[in-house]
Structure 1
Amino acid sequence: MGFDEANTVRDGIRDHLQKIGWKYVPAINLPRDQTEVIVEPYLKQALIDLNPEIAEQPDRADEVIYKLRTILLSVQSEGLVRSNERFADIICGGLSMPFGENYRHVPVKIIDFENPGNNSFITTTELSFTGAVPKRADNVLLVNGIPLIIGECKTATRPSISWLDAGEQIHNDYERNVPALFVPNVFSFGTEGKTFYYGSVRTPLEKWAPWREEEDVGPSPLSDVFETAMNLLSPAIVLDILKNFTLYATDKKNQKIKIICRHQQFDGANKIVNRVADGKVKKGLIWHFQGSGKSFLMVFAAQKLRLNPVLKNPTVIVVVDRQDLDSQINATFNTTDIPNTVGAGSREELQKLLSQDTRKIIITTIHKFGEADGVLNERENIILLCDEAHRTQEGNLGQKMRDALPNAFLFGLTGTPINEVDRNTFKAFGAAEDEKGYLSIYSPEDALRDKATLPLHFEPRLVQYHIEKESINSAFEELTDQLEEDEKHELIKRAARRINFFHNQERIDKISEDIVLHYKQHVEPNGFKAMVVCYDRESCVRYKEALDKVLPEEASDIVMTLSRGDPQEWKNRWDRSKDDEEKLLDRFRDPLDPLQILVVTSKLLTGFDAPILQTMYLDKLMKNHTLLQAICRINRPYTQKSFGLVVDYIGVFDEVAKALAFDEKLMRNIVTNIESLKSAIPPTIEKCLKYFKDVDRNISGWEGLIAAQECIPDNARKDAFAADYQNLSKLWEAVSPDTFLNQYKEDYKWLTQVYESVKPVSMAGALLWQKLGAKTIELINENVHVTGISDDFDEIIIDEDTITDLLKTKDEKKIKRLEIRIIKRLRKHASNPVFIALGEKLEGIKERYEHGFIDSLEFLKALIQIAKDVVKAEKEVEPEDEQKKAKAALTELFENAKTDKTPVIIERIVNDIDSVVRVVRFDGWQQSNPGEREIKRALRGELRKYQLQNDQDLFDKAYDYIRQYY
């Protein structure tokens, strides 16, 4: 018996769930019809068991079930997220019915959250449901007959399959075709037995997340998946996420979205809640690294604290230390519609709320406590959640806050490490009971491991303007954003000659030219955007003027806070309302908007979230957590983005090192110096080549490959080489496309080919073209088949019957001519040797792919090439009106050439290329520069989603084929 997704992954999860409280019932034994979402007999029994009023009159359960059915039916008109929200509200306690005496409304309990053992927990496999179309889910978890969790499993033994294929099936197939099944859904999961990801309804796949309870990874990927499943899918955690860690928000397009917690938010919020409920320790320090979702952690914690009956209707106060963070936190709470949330916009409002004993969530800034007069409230069930717990909350303002609320619980949350400069923070917020002073840690290593954030690379680019640290006097080194305005003013006066240096127009012009050159070469081609961080407001204006000399004016803009004494011209251009500023930032987040570079000095360096921002050009001295907060603006994950890049024009790398010096082990991966990466490449290549020291690398063909493979004959040697090569691959991608690499290209190409030929199965779970970094793929394709850079694009079209039934032909005795005649389009030209040759070529690539001689990417390229040739040949023999009826050639070709082993992702690429061209092309675009640019941008954008925009071979083949048709 072999290994497949059913007997390994699906059944393994089923069996392990039974160890943690789920009872397995085969789907065929569930008392339900395939058109029913809920197992109604189970739900009816639960309603009777949990509600005395229904137990007295059991037919009342039918009225409750009828209400739930109406929500299930409403999904077609209301949408899945809205229906999901309504359903969740009811099963979490939002339903009352007139079942009491004299028809008095009483609450109806559908799930018992306080006593989970009172519920029915059932797991099943291969659950069929017929909506618009029949579908079958691999793993389904039902609570009281309600399907709360849907899981899709893929095989662990095929290298081209990943959890993405499972997630894709849930997100793009099941949720669209049988949405009623997902109306009760808490979350879904996808796994291929190596990785495990989960996400809520309509959440894009790139936002699905891993769930990691333990830092260590075991020896078996499949057993690790089972451990993860047992943790996340334990009955208590499923109910906790449903009740306390689920949010519904409205995005900027006024669309409802659902948000569920990541593991670090679940863990951090529960540690806060448990500490308050226990009541013995009154404080705690939480460090969750920048970009890992700290704002939502506070929302979840505040929501659960308010709902906890043990705390007797507490007051939760969210305290921030800057106005921009105040706006960010307010926006987070407001968009998620958390009830009983108020903002204290003034000292008077805050004092009024506290003196009146308000029992709500209050959002305010630390400065509102500045004029607090004595004790404002002595209650013990007041909980302070202090965001960015650093200097302002340690000094006079922090003491005022503590004096005003002497018995409150005090939790400090920070996204940056606490080092010796902030040592008082440990005293203020850290509890002696907590190891290393922290209640909860989500370190940079954790964030990088979970892909919640990206690594930061650091590139000193000082040109001839490198500033030696000895030349900067002590006054200027103290000039940071942490100082008050009067302190800044005094230091600016003392450092006047340094200001003149930063304002020097010749210097700014030369740096601006270098910025644009770097941006054009390294940032813009990948679809990312950038930020220039300047010394002060005047520097911002000068940089903007310099950038306008070499870029279109609309390509950059300034975001800064203006003061009363600034020139009126500045105010006319850059003094924006909050709404106008947010619209500008939304434009920056839009990949299609021409705004590419933001110029700032202080604003946006904290709290600003724009994943498309990849590169920060730094021309401002900062230090400590202020510097780390700033550079972490670029660490948010984004399509095709593998790291954030700091380009340093002022020489602050040593300051970064100081900011991180408190724990080198935890922080070693957060910032990488590009120059150090370059220096590591030669010895790393040499280390890899030592495995093959007796091999003549000039010998090509199978003899050369066998000679190389025989140098690593056993698993231990293969694993050692694989580890060293992966290290080299990461270094190469980080440095690429630096010309420094040219001297090592041939060696790297050879090592890459050997690595691919012996790669262990356990490392082959990613999509085929994600095995190596994007730069590595680009390099291989350059050496194999390069036709030059081309930005043209066209649509792929052919009629609806192209190559139908080709793959069904099994009679090997039939010659190719008879096979081709089965196909409608090619049959028309059965006597034409051109079409016969094309049919034979298609059959050939089909056979090569099925036998594993080419991978999915090469299969896609070959399909595009044949489709191009078919269109070209038809233009010579078919009238124009028949061509206009044509269907996309690539799509049709793929539909008939794919097999059950073809990765889902290939179909996505085919469909996306076809659809985008239909939208953006227009007649005569080939003769129009704007037309070519628009088509080019569309193609790059679609390929970028799959990390393929740098594959010039694929791009050129697609372009040549499409241009042939139009």
Structure 2
Amino acid sequence: MRLISEKKDVQDRVINHLQAIGWEYIPPADLNGKRGCDMKEPFILDILERKLKELNKGIITDENVGDVVRRLRLIPSTFTGNQEFLDYLRGKKTVYVEREKRERNFKLIDFENPENNHFAFTKEFWFEDREKRRMDIVLFINGIPICDFELKSPTVYEAEEEAFEQVNIYNKALPELFKYLQFYAVSEGIRLFYGPTWKYESKTFYRWKVENGFNFEKLIKSFFDKKEVIETLRSYIVFMTVDEELQKYILKQHQRRAIRKIIKRVLEGKKKKGLIWHTQGAYKTLTMIVLADELRKIPELENPTIIVVIDRLELEQQIYQNFQAYGYPNIVRAKSKKHLRKLLKDDYRGLIITTIHKFEGMPKHINKRENIILLIDEAHRSQEGDLGNYMRGALPNAFYFGFTGTPVDKTKVGRGTFIAFGYPPEEAYLDKYTIDESIEDGTTVPLYYTLAKTELHVDKETLEEEFFRVIEEEGIASIEGVNKIIERAEKLKAVLKAKDRIDKIAKHIAEHYKKFVEPLGFKAFIVAVDREACALYKEAIDKYLPQDYTKVVYTSNYRDSELLKKYHISEEEEKRIRKDFKSPEKLPKILIVTEKLLTGYDAPVLYVMYLDKPLKDHALLQAIARINRPYAGKTCGLIVDYIGIFEDLQRALAFYSKDVEAGLIDYDKLKERFKELMNKADEILEEIDLEDENKRIQNIIDYFFEEDKRKEYIKIFRQIQEIYEILSPDEFLRDYIKKYRLLVQIYEIIYQTYNPEAERRRIRRDILKKTEGLIKKNVELLNIVDNLPLYEINEDIAKTIKADKLSQRVKVASLYKSIKIHIEKRRKASPYLVSIAEKVEKIISQLRERQRSVESALEELTKIAEDIAKAEKEQSKSGLSREEFSYFWILRRHGIENENISRKIHEIISSKEHWTFNENVERELRQDLYKVLQKELQKLQLDNVVNLVNELLGIDKIMRSEEL
């Protein structure tokens, strides 16, 4: 039975699936012929020049096509160069046409007619820049490289992460190629992940999904569908400057899906509205920006008016800047009610950005056109008061699409939102992307909440009378509405801003941050009840933390008191703070806010929110969603509640249901879950004899010899570790710390024994920060691997193994590890060892699949170890170079012990250095090798010669890859 491999089980299947959907496969030898064996050539030049002339008749000709290609080559090999090349791809660049005496836009890709383009791909694509590197599959459109597709065997541990890291390495080593590549994909033959080139972050590493999640054929055929790829390049890759830093995004499936549904509804014209719920943190604003741009470009809409309606003045400026950063043309920001009225009355065509409040008092039927499309952010806000009625009355024939980051509630605001934007009961949402979907995809992380000491809470009667009852009666859904209620809540504010209370909370925050958050390298928000409370918290917390740890961010007012003026900051200073806060290395570490930054601000390093402001429903979910962004090493966000809001979740969140509970979890439940998992771990440990200190490591290795047991343990350990990371240094862990250290030791023993090819860095990649700190503090954890059995590979190894009193299974595991480590250390000096490694893996695979006994595996591995020792001894005495001895070693396995022939073979192969890139050169090389072998040894039959030549060239490939 054939073993699972990257080539047969992944690469060959990808090739077949791509060909089946119309991509032309160009074998490496053919492609290298087209490149003239030039590994620095990124283009398939003949195709590129032909398509340039075909797609730009009369604009690009034989006379100027070379100049156009030269311009493409001169694009800087930088991130901004990658952005510039996308403009080329999208036809935004011009070329001077001599006969017309003017500049004309030209096409690299025909987006309107996808079939007019040439789609091709190749495997094992070599490129030379700062280094020589080989990519598994590269896809081309019209001779231009657009995607790197890296593959791994499904048997490789964390294959998708390995491939993801590999793409990042290639990008750094090959910027002259990657300045053209716009996106990448990685797969292990089971799942498919993708992301934008030049931005390798967890927040831009996405999984592509199909209905049957593990249908590999559907994954490949849907992701690389020619129309899908064309759309990706035309619309779904976005460059934007956010907080003065260039970002690159590629839209996820829920974003693409919503855009397509809205466009379809607009073009059909039968239904005039729709409600889209994409959970907070799912890049809803980006969806709206790309959607607006797509609508603008549709000819059938005849130059529409698109109105983006948002609920807050601060967000109006922010979204305006986002559209500008995107490069959207013809944007106007409504400065006032009067200005918005004039724009609509004068029939402005383009994009209008406005707040919902500017529709107040708007005359009825001010514009009756049908090609007006409104995109309303936080749609529930449009149901407060009469604002929504004014908006709809002014534009009676327009399309209305409401966007929300929170599920719609069952209050009068929620019911109104469903009626205003949906078609209940058959269609509540036109599209939805829920919290649990988002967490499953890694778009967001779950949130845990915990209540601070009860004596710090607001008394329930005051909270009910001055907040909950009022907000429900008035149907408030926004942060601005909440603020107006709080302004009137004099008793509530007096309680919240009491000097002694603020001092106690500030001290608690400082202690909690230093113990639980700072060791992780994450940051925090303090959310105070109003601006004065922000200033009071700053004064208090400076007694317990360095002053530069915290900054206050709020809107200033000329009537402010001296205390408030003390913490006023300029726009430029706020920009710097917003940017610096996103960096784990820079100060501040904690921001004190009350309204600003509670919506629309994206800082993935933000981990904990210290909440001392009463919030409810949409305003609450919007605020706490600031901490749900994924970040390296961040498994969740944490809310510390000083108000007592989370004592009654049903009251705090009128829409609390299964749609929310997956992403908002009681912190105390973590402790219950930790206990359950530790009990499961105990059940495993009880099956292992750990009492005998002389044998317990061997007993661990013996017990986890079976792969199923290892997988089960690793799964449990990782869950325990994630919770430990959140809880530590909670005193709750005190009773478990000794046991947890043992679990860490066992985890490392498993990986060092059964994954010896994975260096210690791979284990460390799985170890989270607080566990890593625990390891560093404990010598026995650091040195555990030093005590593992390891055999020296020498000619006496059989005697050593026989004399060893370990069990047969421990001997196999230890010998396997010893051989793998030995080969890894010496593979550059002795390349022939790589083929031995393959044989070792085959034996272990047969053992796992019960096709071979433990005794048989031990016998074979022992023989291999002896052969390695003999070969290395012989190599040192032979006087042959590493290449010559590698060929000699293969020849001898075929019964040819002749050093002169190995030298001759080295000479022949060296003379045809580029044989891997040219089929004709490879053919000549094979013929030369056949002649040498047939001339010297007439006894060999032809089949043996063919096999032998294949092995010799295979070793040469290995040596080349080692050099790289």
- Measured against the shorter chain, the TM-score band is 0.7 to 0.9
Determine the structure 2 residue equivalent to 1:402. 392
- Deviation per CA, 1:113-146, whole angstroms, max 9, x where unpaired? 2221222211211123344554332111111222
Q: Quick check: which has more Rg, 1 or 2?
A: 2
Matched position secondary structure for 1:645: strand
Of 63, 82, 95, the residue aligned with 1:84 is 82
Determine the structure 2 residue equivalent to 1:158. 156
- Give matches, 1:664-679, under 5 Å: 664-679=657-672
Distance verdict in 2 for CA 1:131–1:515, change over 3 Å:
closer
Determine the structure 2 residue equivalent to 1:230. 221
Higher deviation after alignment, 477-486 or 527-536: 477-486
- Deviation per CA, 1:459-514, whole angstroms, max 9, x where unpaired? 21125334453564423334667589899778755x54333222221111111111
Q: In the TM superposition, what is the alpha-carbon distance from 1:620 to its structure 2 partner?
A: 1.7
Answer whether contact 2:448 2:638 (CA < 8 A) is retained. yes
Of 184, 188, 200, the residue aligned with 2:196 is 200
Distance verdict in 2 for CA 1:486–1:82, change over 3 Å:
closer
1:475 and 1:127 mapped to 2: Cα distance? 68
Determine the structure 2 residue equivalent to 1:743. 735
Answer whether contact 1:849 1:855 (CA < 8 A) is retained. no
Mapped pair 1:11 → 2:5: no
Letter paired with 1:40: L
Determine the structure 2 residue equivalent to 1:288. 278
- Deviation per CA, 1:538-561, whole angstroms, max 9, x where unpaired? 322222221122223332222223
Distance verdict in 2 for CA 1:713–1:139, change over 3 Å:
closer
Unaligned runs of at least 5 residues, structure 1: 789-808, 814-845, 857-966
Of 455, 466, 472, the residue aligned with 2:446 is 455
Q: In the TM superposition, what is the alpha-carbon distance from 1:524 to its structure 2 partner?
A: 1.7
Determine the structure 2 residue equivalent to 1:298. 288
Letter paired with 1:18: Q
Determine the structure 2 residue equivalent to 1:359. 349
Of 680, 683, 697, the residue aligned with 1:690 is 683
Distance verdict in 2 for CA 1:119–1:429, change over 3 Å:
farther
- Give matches, 1:338-353, under 5 Å: 338-353=328-343
Of 426, 443, 447, the residue aligned with 2:434 is 443
Letter paired with 2:282: S
Determine the structure 1 residue equivalent to 2:780. 785
Mapped pair 1:610 → 2:603: yes
Answer whether contact 1:155 1:193 (CA < 8 A) is retained. yes
1:436 and 1:653 mapped to 2: Cα distance? 32
2:549 and 2:106 mapped to 1: Cα distance? 57
Determine the structure 2 residue equivalent to 1:210. 206
2:409 and 2:694 mapped to 1: Cα distance? 57
2:479 and 2:207 mapped to 1: Cα distance? 42
Q: In the TM superposition, what is the alpha-carbon distance from 1:150 to its structure 2 partner?
A: 1.6
Distance verdict in 2 for CA 1:261–1:24, change over 3 Å:
same
Q: In the TM superposition, what is the alpha-carbon distance from 1:614 to its structure 2 partner?
A: 1.4
- Deviation per CA, 1:373-394, whole angstroms, max 9, x where unpaired? 2223222111111111113345
- Deviation per CA, 1:803-856, whole angstroms, max 9, x where unpaired? xxxxxx99989xxxxxxxxxxxxxxxxxxxxxxxxxxxxxxxx99976468999
Mapped pair 1:167 → 2:164: yes
Distance verdict in 2 for CA 1:409–1:180, change over 3 Å:
same
Letter paired with 2:35: R
2:163 and 2:305 mapped to 1: Cα distance? 43
Letter paired with 1:391: R
- Deviation per CA, 1:433-477, whole angstroms, max 9, x where unpaired? 896611221211222122222221112112533445356442333
1:271 and 1:61 mapped to 2: Cα distance? 43
Mapped pair 1:506 → 2:500: yes
- Give matches, 1:748-787, under 5 Å: 748-751=740-743, 767-771=762-766, 773-779=768-774, 782=777, 785=780
Matched position secondary structure for 2:407: coil
Distance verdict in 2 for CA 1:700–1:611, change over 3 Å:
same
Answer whether contact 1:344 1:364 (CA < 8 A) is retained. yes
Q: In the TM superposition, what is the alpha-carbon distance from 1:627 to its structure 2 partner?
A: 0.8
Aligned-residue sequence identity (percent) comes to 35
Mapped pair 1:469 → 2:460: yes
2:17 and 2:237 mapped to 1: Cα distance? 25
Q: In the TM superposition, what is the alpha-carbon distance from 1:301 to its structure 2 partner?
A: 0.7
Determine the structure 1 residue equivalent to 2:118. 120
Distance verdict in 2 for CA 1:594–1:107, change over 3 Å:
closer
Distance verdict in 2 for CA 1:13–1:388, change over 3 Å:
same
Q: In the TM superposition, what is the alpha-carbon distance from 1:758 to its structure 2 partner?
A: 6.8
2:581 and 2:100 mapped to 1: Cα distance? 60
For the aligned residues, what is the CA RMSD?
A: 3.8
Determine the structure 2 residue equivalent to 1:913. none
1:204 and 1:485 mapped to 2: Cα distance? 37
Mapped pair 1:600 → 2:593: yes
1:501 and 1:578 mapped to 2: Cα distance? 32
Answer whether contact 2:191 2:219 (CA < 8 A) is retained. no
1:630 and 1:36 mapped to 2: Cα distance? 50
Answer whether contact 1:389 1:425 (CA < 8 A) is retained. no
Matched position secondary structure for 2:581: helix
Matched position secondary structure for 1:390: helix
1:19 and 1:774 mapped to 2: Cα distance? 46
Q: In the TM superposition, what is the alpha-carbon distance from 1:151 to its structure 2 partner?
A: 1.9
Answer whether contact 2:689 2:696 (CA < 8 A) is retained. no
1:84 and 1:713 mapped to 2: Cα distance? 48
Determine the structure 2 residue equivalent to 1:828. none
Q: In the TM superposition, what is the alpha-carbon distance from 1:309 to its structure 2 partner?
A: 2.1
Answer whether contact 1:531 1:599 (CA < 8 A) is retained. yes
- Give matches, 1:947-962, under 5 Å: none
2:506 and 2:95 mapped to 1: Cα distance? 68
Q: In the TM superposition, what is the alpha-carbon distance from 1:321 to its structure 2 partner?
A: 0.6
Letter paired with 1:37: P
Mapped pair 1:32 → 2:35: yes
Letter paired with 1:513: K
Distance verdict in 2 for CA 1:847–1:784, change over 3 Å:
farther
- Give matches, 1:332-731, under 5 Å: 332-421=322-411, 422-432=413-423, 437-462=428-453, 464-467=455-458, 469-470=460-461, 472-478=463-469, 482=477, 495-563=489-557, 565-571=559-565, 573-658=566-651, 662=655, 664-691=657-684, 693=686, 696-700=689-693, 702=695, 706=699, 715=708, 724-731=716-723
Q: In the TM superposition, what is the alpha-carbon distance from 1:239 to its structure 2 partner?
A: 0.7
1:810 and 1:215 mapped to 2: Cα distance? 50
2:222 and 2:93 mapped to 1: Cα distance? 30
Answer whether contact 1:462 1:648 (CA < 8 A) is retained. no
Unaligned runs of at least 5 residues, structure 2: 784-791, 797-813, 825-964
2:608 and 2:822 mapped to 1: Cα distance? 37
Letter paired with 1:319: V
Answer whether contact 2:288 2:375 (CA < 8 A) is retained. yes
2:83 and 2:483 mapped to 1: Cα distance? 50
Distance verdict in 2 for CA 1:129–1:473, change over 3 Å:
closer
How many pairs align?
A: 786
2:55 and 2:480 mapped to 1: Cα distance? 62
Distance verdict in 2 for CA 1:702–1:395, change over 3 Å:
farther
- Deviation per CA, 1:250-281, whole angstroms, max 9, x where unpaired? 3545x654333233322222222222122222
Distance verdict in 2 for CA 1:69–1:261, change over 3 Å:
farther
Letter paired with 1:597: I
Letter paired with 1:213: K
- Deviation per CA, 1:659-690, whole angstroms, max 9, x where unpaired? 55646333232122221211333333224433
Answer whether contact 1:275 1:282 (CA < 8 A) is retained. yes
Answer whether contact 1:366 1:393 (CA < 8 A) is retained. no
Answer whether contact 1:167 1:205 (CA < 8 A) is retained. no
Distance verdict in 2 for CA 1:776–1:429, change over 3 Å:
farther
Distance verdict in 2 for CA 1:425–1:722, change over 3 Å:
farther
Answer whether contact 2:14 2:220 (CA < 8 A) is retained. yes
Answer whether contact 2:456 2:505 (CA < 8 A) is retained. no
2:418 and 2:427 mapped to 1: Cα distance? 12
Answer whether contact 1:631 1:646 (CA < 8 A) is retained. yes
